[in-house]
C-alpha cells in the first residue's frame, strides 16, 4: 500500500496551486467583501480541466479519479474555500448526477458544456422547510402529456442565479415516499424557471447561494433523469461522492489555516522568543497537524473505495464528518494562535474561520453523517 502521491496527482495538484495563486489569490478579500461570484473564473477553470475532473475524455472531461479530484479541491481551497466550494458543487452534484444517471443522448447534450466550463451547473434538493428531511419536499412535478410541469422552490442552491443548467429533484408521488421523487434537468431561460433571493452569508461569500423558483415550469419528458421515482435514491448516491469533495474542501481549509498558524508562530516574538517555542502553542500545532493527517487518510480511503466501485457510504460519511469538524477546530485554533491579529481581516485565518463552518452543514450536517454511519454499522 502506497501513501505517496502518484505522478498524475502531483501534476494536477501543482496545476491547481498555480491556478489559485495566479487567478484567485489577488482577489480573495475583494470578492469576499463584495460577495462577488466570479463566474468567468469558473469558465477559465474549465480550460484547466477543473470543471470536468471525473468526466471521461470522450465527453470533454479530464478523465481523472477521486484522488486527483481531492488534490484539486484541496489546493484551491487552501487559497480560497469559496472557489473550492463552487468547483466541488459543479463537479460532484450537477455534473456527476447527469454523468451517473443520464442516458447517452442526455450526456452528449449536457456533459461536454459542463465539463469544459462553458456552462456552470446547479443542483436542487434542499427547500425552505426541508433540509435534512429531503423526503418531505414540497416541489412537485406533474405529468401533462409528454411534458412535466414543475412548481415549487429550492433553497441554498450553489449557483442558483449564475448557473446555466440545474438538476432539480421534485415530488412525483407522496410526501415521505423515498420512491416518490424524480430528477429533472432544467436549462436557464426555460419559461417559469427563475432565481430568487441571494443569501447574505457568514462565509464562503464568493460562492453564490440563492433560491431556484419553478412557477408552472414546463419541460419535456426527455429532460427527466432515470426512471420516475428514482430521484431520491439517485440523490443519496450523488451525495456519497459529494461528501468526498466536502472532505477535500475541509482538508484545504484546515491546511491553509494550519500553514498560516505555523508561519505566524515562527515570526511572532513574545518574551524574547518566537511563540512557537512555547508549549501552549506548539502543542496546539501538534494536535492540528495530527488531526489533519487523520482527515486526509479518511478522505483518500473513501476515494479509493469510490474509484474501485465499492460500497463507500459509511466511509464517505466518516470522512466528511471528521474532516469538517477538524477544519472548524483547526481554523479556530489558528485564530487563537494569531491572537488579536487573527480577529482582523489583515490575516487569512479570519476568513478560514468563517468559511470553515459551512463544511459541517452542507451536503448533510454532522448530525446526519452520524445517522448514516450508525445505520451502516448497526445493519
- Look up residue 53 and give its DSSP letter: T
The dihedral built from the CA positions of residue 76, 30, 45 and 316, taken in this order, carries a sign that is positive
- C-alpha grid cell, residue 284: 496546539
Going by C-alpha positions, the residue among 51, 113, 111 that lies closest to residue 76 is: 51
Task: Tell me, letter by letter, the H, E, C secondary structure of 136-191.
Answer: HCCCEEEEECCEEEEEEEEEEEECCCCCCEEEEEEECCCCCCCCCEEEEEEECCCC
User: Catalytic: which of 75, 118, 363, 367?
Assistant: 363
The β-bridge relationship of strands 121-124 and 140-144 is unpaired
- Asked if 43 and 117 touch (Cβ cutoff 8 Å), the reply is yes
Cell numbers linked to 295: 482527515
Burial group, residue 200, by CB count within 10 angstroms (0-12, 13-18, 19+): exposed
Whether 367 sits among the annotated catalytic residues: the reply is: no
Which residues form the catalytic set?
363
Amino acid at each position: 500500500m502506497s501513501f505517496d502521491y502518484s505522478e498524475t496527482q502531483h501534476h494536477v495538484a501543482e496545476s491547481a496551486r498555480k491556478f489559485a495563486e495566479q487567478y484567485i489569490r489577488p482577489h480573495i478579500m475583494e470578492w469576499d467583501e463584495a460577495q462577488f461570484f466570479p463566474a468567468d473564473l469558473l469558465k477559465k477553470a474549465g480550460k484547466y480541466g477543473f470543471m470536468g475532473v471525473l468526466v471521461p475524455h470522450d465527453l470533454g472531461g479530464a478523465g481523472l479519479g477521486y484522488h486527483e479530484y481531492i488534490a484539486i479541491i484541496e489546493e484551491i481551497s487552501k487559497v480560497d474555500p469559496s472557489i473550492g466550494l463552487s468547483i466541488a458543487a459543479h463537479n460532484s452534484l450537477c455534473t456527476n448526477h447527469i454523468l451517473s444517471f443520464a442516458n447517452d443522448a442526455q450526456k452528449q447534450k449536457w456533459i461536454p458544456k459542463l465539463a469544459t466550463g462553458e456552462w456552470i451547473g446547479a443542483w436542487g434538493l434542499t427547500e425552505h422547510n426541508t433540509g435534512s428531511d429531503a423526503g418531505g419536499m414540497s416541489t412537485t412535478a406533474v405529468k401533462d402529456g409528454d411534458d412535466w410541469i414543475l412548481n415549487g422552490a429550492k433553497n441554498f442552491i450553489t449557483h442558483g442565479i449564475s448557473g446555466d443548467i440545474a438538476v432539480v429533484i421534485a415530488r412525483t408521488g407522496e410526501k415521505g415516499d423515498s420512491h416518490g421523487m424524480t430528477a429533472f434537468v432544467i436549462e436557464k431561460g426555460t419559461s417559469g424557471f427563475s432565481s430568487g433571493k441571494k443569501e447574505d452569508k457568514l462565509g464562503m461569500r464568493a460562492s453564490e447561494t440563492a433560491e431556484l423558483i419553478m412557477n408552472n415550469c414546463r419541460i419535456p419528458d426527455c429532460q427527466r433523469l432515470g426512471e420516475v421515482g428514482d430521484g431520491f435514491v439517485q440523490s443519496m448516491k450523488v451525495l456519497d461522492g459529494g461528501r468526498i469533495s466536502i472532505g477535500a474542501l475541509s482538508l484545504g481549509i484546515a491546511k491553509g489555516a494550519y500553514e498560516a498558524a505555523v508561519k505566524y508562530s515562527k515570526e511572532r516574538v513574545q518574551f524574547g522568543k518566537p511563540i512557537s517555542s512555547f508549549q501552549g502553542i506548539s502543542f496546539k500545532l501538534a494536535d492540528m497537524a495530527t488531526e489533519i493527517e487523520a482527515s486526509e487518510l479518511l478522505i483518500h480511503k473513501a476515494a479509493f473505495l469510490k474509484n474501485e466501485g465499492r460500497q463507500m457510504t459509511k466511509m464517505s460519511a466518516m470522512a466528511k464528518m471528521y474532516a469538517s469538524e477538524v477544519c472548524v477546530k483547526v481554523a479556530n485554533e489558528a485564530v487563537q494562535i494569531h491572537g488579536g491579529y487573527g480577529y482582523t481581516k489583515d490575516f487569512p485565518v479570519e476568513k478560514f474561520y468563517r468559511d470553515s463552518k459551512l463544511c459541517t452543514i452542507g451536503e448533510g450536517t454532522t448530525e446526519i453523517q452520524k445517522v448514516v454511519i450508525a445505520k451502516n454499522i448497526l445493519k
